[in-house]
Structure 1
């Protein structure tokens, strides 16, 4: 098999890139190790920056987004006693949209056949070869057969544990990582959200987040130690803890209900440089991870894809090699700013093991400064909606 661009990974980053390249007449094949049902079973982020929604509008894959997406003009920080609203729309003139990553993936997946985007699911033993030359290729197994896919470029959209980043020699790459000493226990429940906007809460007992997937489905999180088990958190215990941490105003509006999904996610900040080696590019979680505080994960993947689609379109359609050469530096400049914001918000809103009384008072002072300073709220709002491409 032959194609111009081979993409490893059929999550939202891989599918979005595939659609953008197909719209420019570029041949693309996506290889995915899992089944479609498994891909759609991943429960992930749900706050979309304008960069992400603009790409979906541009492709015309936006019917459900337009009908079901919830525009949000702001969000709130809670300090245990009060709610500090960040009026994103008033401060920046823009907003974000709440629409689940699973739904973005479903829309992109459904549009693939009619748009000629080839996706091969259930591919095993995926391996990358000759990435330092001009004729890289993939090998994999499918339906018991060994397959080979030749391409001009390979793009790794296969996440933190995929084979793409591992194909880059250790002598070439450099890793930056911070592992946080806690995780997020999250539940999904078919209950109305306690507020029409997201609430990030800093409480003496730890962080909490009130979010949603729709007007009838809520997503809530509480900070837990890394050695906690899901089994130790029956629904009633979770709801009791969430209500306390959100504070009296927001907590008093929480509607309890049975969880339909419950899991604990560790938090880390991670960046791999460079994001290009030879004929291999990295995009999304294969190159960087952010803690979910600030909702940057999917949106960073979308900005990678926007840069890469522009670069590859220039290469194939205009014989312009500059975009390909500059992709890594251009993407990383935005990645590091998003990493900074996610780290800053995580540090501000969580309780850390060994945190001193001084550390706690600094958090309190920072939240009070944000409450009283339009400049501070503007800086947060600009980062929350996504910095310009």
Structure 2
């Protein structure tokens, strides 16, 4: 079996890359170790930068997004019991974000791939990458008891932090940077209208909280919790009681609660690996970098990786030029590090850290006060939140 580009991983980055390449006439095969239902069952962030929305439009999968996505002009910061609005649209010259769940993005991409008749192997076992630094890269795997060898020109590693792609690169080639945060996010999904039309990020003495949404009738809420907590330790009532305590009084009173339809704890970490290319293997998305969810950059960074990689592959096949491929890692990493900085800063600004003490809390308060009262600081915040521009 042969293809031009073998894509490892059928998450949103792998599916988006496959869709863009297919629309450009570049043959690709996706190999995924999990089932399609498992991939769709992952509950992830849902704030899309305009560059991501534009990329989905270019891939021809924005019809439902345009109809169901919620365009947000701003968001709110809550501290000292008061809410302060950051008007992103006004501060950035008209830029906005769109709330549309990652699950829905994945579903749209899956539907488009199936309708296009492009090959995807779900529940592939024993996936291994071979000759990634040579001239004959190939992927071997077992599917439904049958062994397969997939010859290709290039391999795109879109299989996440625990995938085989990054693990296939020699350890002495990679340099990794990592910070694991001493807390997690306990998240609850509920079929109730959002408490606010825009997201609310709350800094409170008891810990961080976030009021978010997936639609006009489905809400997503988070609270900071110890990293060793288990979701089953938290009853719905306990979650709602704790969330109310971390919100301003008006929001707490307006909150509509109900039985959770999903409850989980997400650990927080910052992780970057360099380079994002080794030979004919290119890493994209969580295989190369992870950011705390505070700034909603994870899916958007994966999409920007796909933008650079798809452009480079299209250039290679159309013009026989290696320039885009040669510069792929450097171009991605410039944006990755800026988004990592923003995510780290926003997390440090809104969460309670066990070792900061009263001094740290006072510094947080001073920075929040400066942020909401300084037009320059608010503009910098808004610029990073809506997403920095893509190169080229």
Alignment partner of 2:316: what SS?
helix
In the TM superposition, residue 117 of structure 1 has moved relative to its aligned partner by 2.5
Which residue of structure 2 lines up, in the alignment, with residue 81 of structure 1?
81
1:198 equivalent in alignment to 2:199: yes
Mark the runs of 5 or more structure 2 residues left unpaired by the alignment.
none
Query: Structure 2 matches for 1:278-297, cutoff 5 A?
Result: 278-297=279-298
Query: Structure 2 matches for 1:370-381, cutoff 5 A?
Result: 370-381=371-382
Determine if contact 2:9/2:33 at 8 Å carries over to the other structure.
yes
Q: Output the CA distance in 1 between the equivalents of 2:314 and 2:374.
A: 44
Determine if contact 1:129/1:136 at 8 Å carries over to the other structure.
yes
Count of matched residue pairs: 389
Q: Output the CA distance in 2 between the equivalents of 1:4 and 1:107.
A: 24
Which residue of structure 2 lines up, in the alignment, with residue 156 of structure 1?
157
- Shifted more, 193-202 versus 229-238: the winner is 229-238
Which residue of structure 1 lines up, in the alignment, with residue 6 of structure 2?
6
Determine if contact 1:80/1:245 at 8 Å carries over to the other structure.
no
Please tell me the root mean square deviation across aligned C-alpha atoms, in Å: 0.8
Alignment partner of 1:316: what SS?
helix
1:37 equivalent in alignment to 2:37: yes
Which residue of structure 1 lines up, in the alignment, with residue 173 of structure 2?
172
Q: Output the CA distance in 1 between the equivalents of 2:336 and 2:232.
A: 36
Query: Structure 2 matches for 1:121-132, cutoff 5 A?
Result: 121-132=122-133
Q: Output the CA distance in 1 between the equivalents of 2:340 and 2:385.
A: 12
Which residue of structure 2 lines up, in the alignment, with residue 220 of structure 1?
221
In the TM superposition, residue 268 of structure 1 has moved relative to its aligned partner by 0.1
Which residue of structure 2 lines up, in the alignment, with residue 273 of structure 1?
274
Mark the runs of 5 or more structure 1 residues left unpaired by the alignment.
none
In the TM superposition, residue 115 of structure 1 has moved relative to its aligned partner by 2.3
Q: Output the CA distance in 1 between the equivalents of 2:84 and 2:136.
A: 54
Query: Structure 2 matches for 1:1-389, cutoff 5 A?
Result: 1-92=1-92, 93-389=94-390
Q: Output the CA distance in 2 between the equivalents of 1:111 and 1:219.
A: 27
Q: Output the CA distance in 1 between the equivalents of 2:261 and 2:18.
A: 32
Alignment partner of 2:325: what SS?
helix
- Shifted more, 359-368 versus 55-64: the winner is 55-64
In the TM superposition, residue 266 of structure 1 has moved relative to its aligned partner by 0.6
Deviation track 1:338-366 (CA, whole Å, cap 9, x = no partner) reads 00000000000000012211110000000
Alignment partner of 1:52: what SS?
helix
Deviation track 1:139-191 (CA, whole Å, cap 9, x = no partner) reads 00001011100000000000000000001101100000000000000000001
Deviation track 1:202-240 (CA, whole Å, cap 9, x = no partner) reads 000000000000010000000001121222211111101
Determine if contact 2:16/2:59 at 8 Å carries over to the other structure.
no
Q: Output the CA distance in 1 between the equivalents of 2:104 and 2:56.
A: 12
Alignment partner of 1:206: what SS?
coil
Alignment partner of 2:208: what SS?
strand
In the TM superposition, residue 192 of structure 1 has moved relative to its aligned partner by 0.6
- Shifted more, 352-361 versus 186-195: the winner is 352-361
Determine if contact 1:8/1:164 at 8 Å carries over to the other structure.
yes
TM-score, length basis structure 2 = 0.98
Determine if contact 1:80/1:201 at 8 Å carries over to the other structure.
no
Q: Output the CA distance in 1 between the equivalents of 2:247 and 2:308.
A: 38
Q: Output the CA distance in 1 between the equivalents of 2:11 and 2:283.
A: 14
Deviation track 1:28-59 (CA, whole Å, cap 9, x = no partner) reads 00001111111100000100001111011112
In the TM superposition, residue 248 of structure 1 has moved relative to its aligned partner by 1.1
Determine if contact 1:183/1:266 at 8 Å carries over to the other structure.
yes
Q: Output the CA distance in 1 between the equivalents of 2:114 and 2:263.
A: 33
Deviation track 1:304-363 (CA, whole Å, cap 9, x = no partner) reads 000000000001111011000000000000000000000000000000012211110000
TM-score, length basis structure 1 = 0.99
Determine if contact 2:32/2:124 at 8 Å carries over to the other structure.
yes
Determine if contact 1:125/1:141 at 8 Å carries over to the other structure.
yes
Q: Output the CA distance in 2 between the equivalents of 1:292 and 1:205.
A: 19
In the TM superposition, residue 114 of structure 1 has moved relative to its aligned partner by 2.7
In the TM superposition, residue 83 of structure 1 has moved relative to its aligned partner by 0.8
In the TM superposition, residue 23 of structure 1 has moved relative to its aligned partner by 1.0
Q: Output the CA distance in 2 between the equivalents of 1:226 and 1:39.
A: 24
Determine if contact 1:22/1:116 at 8 Å carries over to the other structure.
no
In the TM superposition, residue 250 of structure 1 has moved relative to its aligned partner by 1.9
In the TM superposition, residue 251 of structure 1 has moved relative to its aligned partner by 1.8
